[in-house]
Chains A and B, each alone.
Chain A
Amino acid sequence: MTTAHEPAITTKNLRRSFGKSHALDGFDMKVPAGKVVGLVGPNGAGKTTLLLILAGLLAPDDGTALVAGADPVEQPFEVHRNIGWMPDFFGVYDGLTATEYLDLFGAAYRLSVKERRDRAKELIALVHLESFADAPVHTMSRGQKQRLGFARAIVHRPKVLLLDEPASGLDPRARVELRELVRKQADEGASVLVSSHILSELEEMVDLVAFAEKGKCKGIHPLHDLPGAAARTWQFRSLDPAALEVALSAAEMSATFLPNGAGVVALKDEQEAAQLVEHLVRVGVPIVEVTRGGGGLESAFMAMDEGDRR
């Protein structure tokens, strides 16, 4: 059993490869109980593989994991009792109504018929699908199906929620709703691990951020204390992209370049930005546009990604 002090999820040296690609390459992570942790990383960083292993569906090649006090390899069904897993891609049974769908999964966790009926009603209200309670699932939009999938994942009030890219493909309004649903679960005591590459999305949802990169965990940080969180990215566009690249590297600035030739640089503050503009103009780079990029998580992510690329 998990106590408040014990981590909800612990992984040690998890490894899993598919053919020649190493999806997980020694993944170590601790997710504290009762927190929402964002799992951030580029596509292919091993996020989905990690969540599959934690959900007891995929066996790692090596390493161990503990989810809500149980080993997902040795006791997958003990893990299932305590987790709700929402995959990045999932289908719903088209022939069923939302109520029947939730009832089926209530039964999957051995809830009684009455419990199932009450819980389905409660969840449908929670995810605002009242108008679909008795309508076939195939008439729902993607966002609505996503909400139904979320309701399905929490039908048995799990201690740990594993959400794989829950916000992908949702419109802004649906994302805000999802964020509120996730926060509500955490407020009620659940631990949540939510993966995403939509960084701005996680910013208002998570307490901590874990960075995944090439199958490894690159640290887990409180959101307000991210390395480089204060920094912002700035985009410099020049008529002469080559000159811009030369000038930036001469100034020892780490920059990434967009397909249109614009350079993206993480800078501490506006002061630094003004200095860089002045410098670039002085060395004769024809600057035509300077834009301020996203902040916080995004630039921290950029900084980490940058460090790795060097």
Chain B
Amino acid sequence: MRALVVSELRQRIRGRRWWILLLLWFLVLLGLMLVIQNAAEQQAGFYPRRFREPPLGPSMFGSLTLLIVGLSCLIIPSLTSTSINGERDRGTLAVLQSTLYRPRDIVLAKFLAAMVVALTFLVLTLPLTWWCFSEGGVHLGRTIVVYAIIVLVLALMVLIGLAASALIRKPSLSAAAAYGFVFLLTIGSPILFGLLLLGAPDVVNGYERQVGWRWIILAPDPVVVLADAAPRAPRGPGVAVVSDPLESIREAVRDARRPPEVYNKRGRQIDPATGEVIEFDPFTGEPELKTSEPPALWPWGLAIDVLIGAGAAYLAIERLRIPTHKLATGERVA
């Protein structure tokens, strides 16, 4: 088992391209972070002097995590999306299957080897996170949760690639399928949600749409899970937050689960639980009475993602079971 992981890794790191890719990954992230820091600095400059100068950390860290997930979508599926059918094509898979290695050993070894590579990419982002810390305002607990969720997201992408490479015979098609699925999950889900919402019946005021069950479409999106699960950064008095993209996404998706607003006969908004009229601060527009935050989406999203990952692993193992009963047309065992 260990030998199998080691040999997988040996083959990868002996290729020059992995080192080039690692270097590029770091340089691209570093470059983008420089641009983002500059933008955040500009934004911070607009705040009046009487406020303490807002820290740039949260804004930069939020952007960094989104960049990591976004770039991972481009790189991580390729770690496994041709790993099983590629071995089939090169005539190395059947030889491996003719030994005492079980299907689950082969799948697990490929998963672990890909995860080692994926985590190497992630470790390279730590200096950039350190930089965000040094800009101030970044909360350690939040950082740890965000990194933990990114690890899960990477594992999900690796497993999707593995399943595609096990189920689809042609490497070019399985790579396309793995990328397609990952993009469906990250970009497709908000688009689908938006379209479904346009067709949904509207609520009283003719402006807001009734979300109903449709938020579940949004939930498994890795970006949504990440933004929603991250604990909120503490807001001290006088610390204005320079826009943090993670916070914005969280607000937006939580809104999807906000119950429709309820008004009394005089047209004033009331708290549906207590029937109390909600007063609004004339300056900030924020409700003075603390309204409860809508329930989180991420437990649902995470559960769906874990199911997808487990299903992908199951399918990959099933596909490697021997002796083979059915063969696709043109497929050879060896």
Q: Which of B23-51 contact A (CB under 8 A)?
A: none
- Are the CB atoms of A57 and B97 closer together than 8 Å? yes
Q: Which residues of B contact A107 (CB under 8 A)?
A: 1-4
Q: In the assembly, what is the distance between CA of A293 and CA of B329, in Å?
A: 40
Choose among B11, B101, B333 the residue that contacts A58 (Cβ–Cβ < 8 A): B333
Q: In the assembly, what is the distance between CA of A58 and CA of B101, in Å?
A: 16
The size bracket of the interface on A is 35 or more
Choose among B2, B98, B327 the residue that contacts A55 (Cβ–Cβ < 8 A): B98
Known: A57-B323, A105-B99. A96 touches B7 (CB 8 A): yes
Does any Cβ of B come within 8 Å of A103's Cβ? Answer: yes
Choose among A19, A57, A108, A152 the residue that contacts B100 (Cβ–Cβ < 8 A): A108
Select the stretch in B88-96, B115-123, B139-147 that faces chain A.
Answer: B88-96
Does any Cβ of B come within 8 Å of A12's Cβ? Answer: no
Does any Cβ of B come within 8 Å of A257's Cβ? Answer: no
Select the stretch in A85-93, A220-228, A296-304 that faces chain B.
Answer: A85-93
Q: In the assembly, what is the distance between CA of A54 and CA of B323, in Å?
A: 10
Q: Which of A65-104 contact B (CB under 8 A)?
A: 72-73, 76-77, 80-81, 83, 85, 87-96, 100, 103-104
Q: In the assembly, what is the distance between CA of A13 and CA of B14, in Å?
A: 48
Choose among A58, A85, A104, A152 the residue that contacts B324 (Cβ–Cβ < 8 A): A58
Does any Cβ of A come within 8 Å of B102's Cβ? Answer: yes
- Are the CB atoms of B334 and A52 closer together than 8 Å? yes
Question: Smallest distance from the beta carbon of A169 to chain B beta carbons, Å?
Answer: 14
Does any Cβ of A come within 8 Å of B268's Cβ? Answer: no
Known: A80-B100, A108-B100. A90 touches B334 (CB 8 A): yes
Q: In the assembly, what is the distance between CA of A180 and CA of B16, in Å?
A: 40
Q: Which residues of A contact B235 (CB under 8 A)?
A: none
Q: Which residues of A contact B200 (CB under 8 A)?
A: none
Chain A residue with minimal CB distance to B334? A87
Instruction: Count residues on chain B whose CB falls below 8 Å from chain A CBs.
Output: 31
- Are the CB atoms of B7 and A56 closer together than 8 Å? no
Chain A residue with minimal CB distance to B92? A91
Question: Smallest distance from the beta carbon of B48 to chain A beta carbons, Å?
Answer: 60
Does any Cβ of A come within 8 Å of B258's Cβ? Answer: no
Q: In the assembly, what is the distance between CA of A88 and CA of B329, in Å?
A: 20
Does any Cβ of A come within 8 Å of B15's Cβ? Answer: yes
Q: Which residues of B contact A58 (CB under 8 A)?
A: 322-324, 333
Known: A77-B100, A104-B4, A108-B99. A95 touches B323 (CB 8 A): no
- Are the CB atoms of A94 and B11 closer together than 8 Å? yes
Q: Which residues of A contact B4 (CB under 8 A)?
A: 104, 107-108
Q: Which residues of A contact B325 (CB under 8 A)?
A: 59
- Are the CB atoms of B10 and A57 closer together than 8 Å? no
Question: Smallest distance from the beta carbon of A135 to chain B beta carbons, Å?
Answer: 13
Complex A-B, nearest 7 residue pairs according to Cβ-Cβ distance, in ascending order: A107-B3, A95-B11, A108-B99, A91-B90, A91-B91, A59-B323, A87-B334
Name A residues whose Cβ lies closer than 8 Å to a Cβ of B: 18-19, 48, 52-53, 55-59, 72-73, 76-77, 80-81, 83, 85, 87-96, 100, 103-110, 136, 149, 152
Extra contacts, 9 of them, besides A52-B334, A57-B324, A103-B3 (Cβ < 8 A), are A80-B99, A83-B98, A87-B91, A92-B92, A96-B7, A96-B10, A100-B10, A108-B100, A149-B95
